[in-house]
């Protein structure tokens, strides 16, 4: 089985396993106690904090260990906003942040804060000018991921940090996807990360708060972790997390070159091997191991099952899955095709042979799913029947509305239109994406008696 879902979690690094087992014997005691066992545990905790600070590029007393990366984000956002309450309650986030950041923003809104969501380009990148335009006198905090978790696009953190610093606004960076590859550049103020993203054990997160940043921890606090992460530290897991971070960093430069070549190969060959595919995300400014593409006329869940049966573990941001009825918020914000979405994220050590086998298997898997769904042949029909056709796709889920659009599109003359009736949220994204891929004109949408009518004009 080839595991191609490293953006979700990376298998435990061998160094992490060794460190975990070793620290179970020496790191079980309370590091806050003064007896011999407590002092031994404290030495392990202090050494881990120093090593983590070196990897991040900060002071050791700026690092606290949390119970997860999500907890680090939630604590960081809440603490920074509370610390700057006198300034205001305005929060800035990008529209493609990880759900844990967006969930924090939603909680803030429910409590009366004002949230600005900065748009991204079709590659998934923010423009620093968007953050500059969003800044206000009452802005308390801005958030930006270092790299996107779904499409791999690297964000201009240093430039955004400079904009925020000039306005006196702290920037919180979600570095979960990138920290294993290297420190985050720029003059950021807070940082969050998660150990299971780089081969450490799950249940360990990092929260870094730079000196001078106003921060007020929320909720019950105690004396541990500077009062910012209450509760008994999971010291063996912390030791293993930091040991694995150091280990992957030592291998990162060489491994990044190899994985970039493999993902570039996937980006180039998938459109050659599979018709009607859109490769998404920035082609250059991207993480080494992530490549994402979407396939027209494909049910995302069915495709993932086919690939799983063929021996490949991948993930999807498609709405055509059992876990969601709406497209990924990342794909939606980018305005790209969502149906049949596949994210391939290669862990360090991925064999070239596995990538080649994936490229051999993928065309058959996509063709099989399309055949089951009754997808149209690549060449459109040419018979002309009416100036406007209506496709009733009410009650039908992704990718059926687009399939039915494609089947009849050749039946209208140049200048004619097809009106697609749909109540599937994915249609709002996938029909315009189909138009762009096909070189046709997306006229817009209109309210219908049931659902929404999407209008497409044939231009050639």
What is the separation of C-alpha 149 from the centre of its chain, rounded to a whole number of angstroms?
Answer: 2
Q: Residue 10: its pLDDT value, please?
A: 95
Q: Residue 325: its pLDDT value, please?
A: 58
Q: Residue 156: its pLDDT value, please?
A: 98
Query: What is the distance between the alpha carbons of residues 209 and 221, in angstroms, rounded to a whole number?
Result: 16
Q: What b/e sequence results for 417-444 when a residue is b if at least 16 CB atoms lie within 10 Å of its CB, and e otherwise? A: bbbbbbebbbbbbbbbbbbeebebbbee
The two structure tokens encoding residue 344: 């391939």
Query: What is the distance between the alpha carbons of residues 177 and 197, in angstroms, rounded to a whole number?
Result: 6
Q: Residue 386: its pLDDT value, please?
A: 63
In tens digits, what is the pLDDT along the chain, a chain of 460 residues? 899 999 999 999 999 999 999 999 888 888 988 898 889 999 999 999 999 999 999 999 999 999 999 999 999 999 999 999 999 999 999 999 999 999 999 999 999 999 999 999 999 999 999 999 999 999 999 999 999 999 999 999 999 999 999 999 999 999 999 999 999 999 999 999 999 999 999 999 999 999 999 999 998 777 788 778 878 889 999 999 999 999 999 999 999 999 999 999 999 999 999 999 999 999 999 999 999 999 999 988 899 999 999 999 999 886 554 455 578 999 999 999 999 999 999 999 999 999 999 999 999 999 999 999 998 865 443 444 568 899 999 999 889 999 999 999 988 999 999 999 999 888 999 999 999 999 999 999 999 988 999 999 999 8
**What single-letter DSSP state applies at residue 321?**
B
Residue given tokens 């595919």 in the structure block = 277
Q: Residue 381: its pLDDT value, please?
A: 39
Q: Residue 422: its pLDDT value, please?
A: 94
Q: Residue 323: its pLDDT value, please?
A: 54
Q: Residue 230: its pLDDT value, please?
A: 79
Using DSSP bridges, classify how beta strands 2-3 and 139-145 pair: parallel, antiparallel or unpaired. unpaired
Q: Residue 326: its pLDDT value, please?
A: 74
Determine the length of the chain. Answer: 460
DSSP, collapsed to helix, strand or coil, labels residue 267 as helix
Q: In this structure, what are the phi and psi dihedrals at residue 175, rounded to the nearest 5 degrees?
A: -105, 20
Using DSSP bridges, classify how beta strands 114-118 and 90-94 pair: parallel, antiparallel or unpaired. parallel
> Which run of H or of E encompasses 191?
strand 190-194
Give me the active site residues, please. Answer: 320
Within 8 A by CB and 6+ apart from 189, the residues are 80, 161, 164, 170, 171, 172, 209, 210, 213
Partners of residue 293 on adjacent β-strands: 279, 342
Query: What is the distance between the alpha carbons of residues 226 and 177, in angstroms, rounded to a whole number?
Result: 26
């Amino acid at each position: 089985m080839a595991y191609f879902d490293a953006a979700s979690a990376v298998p435990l690094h061998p160094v992490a396993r060794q460190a975990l087992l070793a620290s179970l014997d020496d790191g079980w005691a309370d590091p806050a106690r003064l007896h011999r066992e407590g002092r031994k545990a404290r030495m392990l905790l202090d050494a881990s904090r120093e090593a983590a600070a070196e990897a991040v590029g900060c002071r050791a007393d700026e690092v606290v260990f949390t119970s997860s990366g999500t907890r680090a984000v939630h604590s960081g956002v809440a603490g920074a906003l509370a610390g700057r309450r006198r300034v205001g309650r305005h929060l800035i986030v990008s529209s493609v942040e990880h759900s844990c950041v967006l969930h924090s923003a939603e909680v803030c809104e429910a409590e009366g804060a004002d949230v600005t969501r900065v748009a991204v380009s079709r590659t998934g990148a923010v423009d620093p000018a968007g953050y500059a335009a969003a800044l206000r006198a009452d802005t308390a905090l801005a958030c930006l991921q270092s790299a996107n978790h779904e499409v791999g696009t690297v964000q201009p953190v240093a430039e955004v940090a400079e904009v925020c610093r000039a306005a006196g606004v702290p920037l919180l960076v979600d570095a979960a996807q990138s920290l294993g590859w290297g420190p985050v550049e720029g003059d950021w103020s807070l940082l969050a990360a998660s150990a299971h993203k780089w081969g450490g054990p799950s249940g360990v997160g990092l929260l870094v708060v730079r000196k001078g940043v106003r921060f007020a921890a929320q909720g019950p606090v105690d004396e541990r972790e500077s009062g910012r992460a209450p509760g008994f530290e999971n010291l063996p897991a912390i030791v293993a997390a930091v040991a694995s971070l150091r280990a992957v960093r030592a291998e990162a430069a060489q491994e990044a070159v190899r994985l970039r070549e493999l993902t570039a190969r996937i980006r180039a060959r998938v459109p050659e091997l599979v018709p009607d595919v859109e490769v998404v995300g920035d082609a250059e400014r991207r993480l080494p191991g992530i490549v994402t593409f979407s396939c027209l006329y494909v049910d995302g869940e069915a495709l993932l099952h086919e690939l799983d049966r063929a021996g490949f573990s991948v993930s999807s941001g498609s709405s055509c899955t059992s876990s969601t009825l709406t497209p990924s918020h990342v794909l939606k914000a980018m305005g790209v095709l969502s149906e049949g979405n596949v994210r391939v994220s290669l862990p360090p050590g991925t064999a070239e042979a596995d990538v080649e086998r994936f490229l051999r298997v993928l065309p058959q898997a996509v063709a099989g799913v399309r055949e089951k769904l009754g997808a149209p042949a690549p060449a459109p029909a040419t018979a002309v029947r009416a100036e406007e056709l209506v496709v009733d796709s009410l009650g039908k889920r992704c990718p059926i509305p687009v399939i039915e659009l494609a089947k009849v599109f050749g039946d209208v003359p140049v200048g004619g239109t097809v009106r697609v009736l749909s109540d599937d949220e994915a249609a709002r994204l996938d029909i315009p994406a189909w138009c762009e891929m096909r070189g046709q004109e997306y006229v817009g949408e209109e309210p219908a008696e049931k659902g929404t009518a999407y209008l497409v004009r044939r231009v050639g």
